[in-house]
């Protein structure tokens, strides 16, 4: 039954996404705010499909810690849903994404229009400088919520990935507190495969770390906070 419901969801998900991709083409010619609203509508539609097709509910905890103005968010990354779910409640999110994704038709067009931050993961020190400069530019343009996945790629539930230095560079040069985001999403929407397991996907915003911590202290507290909270959300 889970397999059948998962197939049904995937079919509905791609049909929904394809339809919105085409219908939203005019937003490429409008101010960015129209596209932001379209992203939110799309994400809410996916949340409905998860509930109807797979008996998966989405719960957001720590709403008092969800930023509404200029902010830096460091998030656990277990599946693709971690990205677009945030469109449903963040007012103006800006994601750090790898450059290879920009080659995808429609996706790359909308990401460019939305002024997402594109990084070259093979670029070394130059890529880090470009990341920080782009982060400063985006937050100077508008009061956006800059979301970065410090591990750089999707991982497995209960396993800590390697936290990359880009988040520390943003933290240092943006001079903002860092909002931590934990999740158990991978227990229900695995990073690979199409089986979707019933239950509740939880996104939990934690109390932010203050600005101004030393690099080593910041990296340690960020990783420990995200990992401990994410592991606590996993099914027993």
> Any bridge partners for residue 179, and if so which?
73
Rounded Cα gap, residues 152 and 75, in angstroms: 10
What's this model's pTM, rounded to 2 decimal places? 0.94
∠ CA(15), CA(20), CA(25), 5° rounding? 135
The DSSP 8-state label assigned to residue 192 in this structure reads S
pLDDT exceeds 80 at position 15 = yes
14-41 average pLDDT score: 95
Give pLDDT tens digits for 48-72: 999 999 999 999 999 999 999 999 9
Tell me the HSE value of 174 on the side-chain side, using a 13 A CA sphere. Answer: 30
What HEC string does 114-169 produce? CCCEEECCCCHHHHHHHHHHHHHHHHHHCCCEEEECCCCCCCCCCCCCCCCCHHHH
Segment 219-231 mean pLDDT = 97
pLDDT over 70 (residue 123)? no
70 neighbors 177 (Cβ within 8 angstroms): no
Domain chopping of the chain, boundaries: 57-232
> What tens digit of pLDDT does each residue of 129-172 get?
999 999 999 999 999 999 999 998 899 999 999 999 899 999 99
Confidence category of residue 119, pLDDT binned at 50, 70, 90: confident
Residue 105 has pLDDT above 90, yes or no: no
The helix-helix angle for 124-141 and 166-174 (nearest 10°) equals 40
185 or 193, greater pLDDT = 185
Q: Specify the CATH class of 57-232 in words.
A: alpha beta
Could you tell me which residues are beta bridge partners of residue 203? 60, 183
Q: What is the mean pLDDT of the chain?
A: 94
């Amino acid at each position: 039954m889970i397999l059948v419901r998962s197939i049904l969801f995937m079919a509905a998900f791609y049909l929904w996404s394809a339809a919105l991709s085409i219908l939203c083409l005019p937003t490429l010619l409008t101010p960015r705010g129209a596209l932001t609203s379209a992203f939110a509508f799309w994400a809410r539609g996916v949340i409905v499909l998860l509930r109807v097709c797979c008996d998966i509910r989405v719960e957001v905890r720590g709403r008092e810690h969800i930023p509404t103005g200029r902010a830096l968010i460091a998030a656990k990354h277990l599946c693709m849903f971690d990205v677009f779910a945030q469109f449903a409640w963040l007012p103006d999110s800006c994601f750090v994404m790898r450059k290879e994704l920009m080659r995808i038709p429609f996706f790359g067009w909308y990401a460019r229009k939305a002024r997402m931050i594109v990084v070259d993961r093979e670029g070394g020190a130059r890529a880090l400088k470009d990341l920080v400069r782009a982060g400063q530019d985006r937050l100077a343009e508008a009061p956006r919520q800059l979301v970065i996945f410090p591990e750089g790629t999707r991982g497995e539930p209960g396993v800590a990935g390697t936290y990359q230095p880009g988040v520390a560079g943003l933290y240092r040069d943006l001079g903002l507190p860092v909002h931590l985001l934990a999740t158990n999403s991978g227990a229900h929407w695995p990073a690979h495969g199409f089986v979707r397991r019933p239950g509740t996907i939880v996104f939990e915003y934690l109390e932010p770390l203050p600005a101004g911590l030393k690099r080593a202290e910041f990296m340690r507290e960020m990783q420990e906070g995200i990992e401990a909270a994410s592991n606590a959300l996993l099914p027993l």
